[in-house]
Amino acid sequence: MSRYFSKILANSLSAVGAFLCLLLLFAVFNQSNSIDDVGDYLVKYHSRVFRSKAEEIRQYLIVGQTDSAMALLEAPIWQNVLKGDRIYPVKRRLLSHLCKQLHKDKDYRNLRRWASEWRYLDELDPDAIAYWYEALRHSADRHDEGFQGLIRESYRIPTYQRLSTNLLIAAHRENGNLQAAEQLLTKRAEEIAERLSSGWELFWTIATKQDEYKLYSRVYSISSKANGMYDISFKVPSSVVRLRLDPPGYTSLELSDIQFEIDGIVHSLLTNDFYLNQMQHSYKSIVSNGQQDPYFEFDPRSYLKNRENFSVDMTLRFRVTLVIGNDRVLLPRVR
């Protein structure tokens, strides 16, 4: 082939390539919706993969198999997740559950390692800092540093659930300083009780004649009665089909002796019949574990038989116990 024809062929190939690129760009700009759909699919698929793997780790932690959980967290898929990534909140929850279980198992060597990794990801995370100092407190060479660190953090971190304070209460007890532990426990309980005096939100769902449902809500404050019970009184139509009560978020508490009163008739409620969100069953009570949106929900219709559609006086009544680390404090004690 002559140099002339080679040059023509090369120019032709370049022209074809440029033409194909133009066609591709044209297709891209005219298929933006399709590209968005593909992007959304990839994001959702990516999230599903992570959440599936996270659930596997969580199940290991539930049964106390920390070695298996740590092995999965060491995989590159998790090691590459950094603060600011879309999936980081999931990783943070896993690290929190892992450190909690390691602390429960008194595995302070691994607690120190994973709290250190957690701090590397977010050096300002109060729970990571608290677990780090707790691990140091149980080390042979940095015990005092860990103890003093817990003292500083218990006063520095203005969070609703100060893990460092709970750990410091236990540390005072281990050191035989029961008075300091009791004083700190009382102070912490008073702080939580102040928050719990308001912010209780009641939701109720009403069935309409058009077979539709409408949701209503109202925020309440609570105060203790002479018998140590707390009341939330309200009036709603007898067409109510669901009742839901949301305690203030980010608090750990136990609700027990839950009663439902209608026109002076008191019914003790079975907590096993409740639908729970970010709460757990505990014998005849329910417990919130410090998450953002705890609530319990139940169907009141079994107590509203043979009633016409008119407003009914109702009261929810319950006892409140604060959960502070390993301690349980009745709320009336500190009000």
Query: Which segments within 121-212 are labelled E, that is strand?
Result: 200-207
Cβ atoms < 10 Å from Cβ of 248: 17
Tens digit of each residue's pLDDT (9 = 90 or more) over 260-317: 998 788 999 989 889 999 999 998 899 998 889 999 999 998 887 666 666 788 999 9
Give the pLDDT confidence score for residue 283 in this predicted structure: 85
- Among 81, 288, 313, 68, CA closest to 200: 288
CATH architecture observed for domain 45-176? Alpha Horseshoe (1.25)
Paired sense of beta strands 279-282 and 200-207, if any: unpaired
* Element at 172 (helix H, strand E): helix 163-174
Bridge partner residues of 245 (DSSP): 202, 296
Tens digit of each residue's pLDDT (9 = 90 or more) over 86-138: 999 999 999 999 999 999 999 999 999 999 999 999 999 999 999 999 999 99
Tens digit of each residue's pLDDT (9 = 90 or more) over 35-73: 444 444 445 546 777 888 999 999 999 999 999 999 999
d(CA 326, CA 252): 11
Tens digit of each residue's pLDDT (9 = 90 or more) over 261-274: 987 889 999 898 89
pTM listed for this prediction: 0.76
Domain boundaries, the chain: 45-176, 196-334
Structure tokens at 247: 């305690």
d(CA 132, CA 113): 8
Residues whose CB falls within 8 Å of the CB of residue 139, separated by 6 or more in sequence, listed in order: 108, 112, 146
Tens digit of each residue's pLDDT (9 = 90 or more) over 184-208: 999 889 888 888 899 999 999 998 7
Residues whose CB falls within 8 Å of the CB of residue 46, separated by 6 or more in sequence, listed in order: 87
User: Can you say how many angstroms the Cα of residue 202 is from the centroid of all Cα atoms in its chain?
Assistant: 20
* Element at 43 (helix H, strand E): helix 32-62
